[in-house]
Amino acid sequence: MPFIDKAFAAGAAPGGFDIMSFLPMIVIFVLFWFLMVRPQQKKMKEHQKMLSEIQKGDEVITQGGVLGRVVKAGEQFLTLEIANGVEINVQRPAVTGKVEKGTLKSL
């Protein structure tokens, strides 16, 4: 039984919780939060605020790149006039931003 003696001589594995082993993972999580999650949440809040403030007469651009003036503003849909007499309906979330008034006239 020479092998058993060597096993007992090695001693038991260290037990307990070592915070230092988890410190790198904690630091990575905190960096991930501040560099990726927080800015995305802030951008999302700003976009939601912009969408809620859209009203009739605003000029907007959609995700597809369509510029138009808001003719009707419903709760979920907007009617955009993209040319004289041409109107389209889009969902509010499809709007990516407002543009300065007069942008459509300059095109």
Contacts of 59 (CB under 8 A, 6+ apart): 67, 68, 69, 70, 98, 99, 100, 101, 102, 103, 104
Q: Where does residue 71 rank: exposed (0-12), middle (13-18), buried (19+ CB within 10 A)? A: middle
Residue 70 binned pLDDT confidence (cut-offs 50, 70, 90)? very high
State pLDDT tens for residues 74-91: 999 999 999 999 999 999
Residue 27's pLDDT band (cuts 50, 70, 90): very high
pTM higher than 0.85 for the full model? no
- Give per-residue pLDDT as tens, 37-57: 999 999 999 999 999 999 999
For residues 92 and 55, give the distance between their C-alpha atoms in angstroms, rounded to a whole number: 11
Domains of the chain in sequence order: 23-105 (2.30.30)
Please determine, for residue 3, whether its predicted confidence score (pLDDT) is greater than 80: no
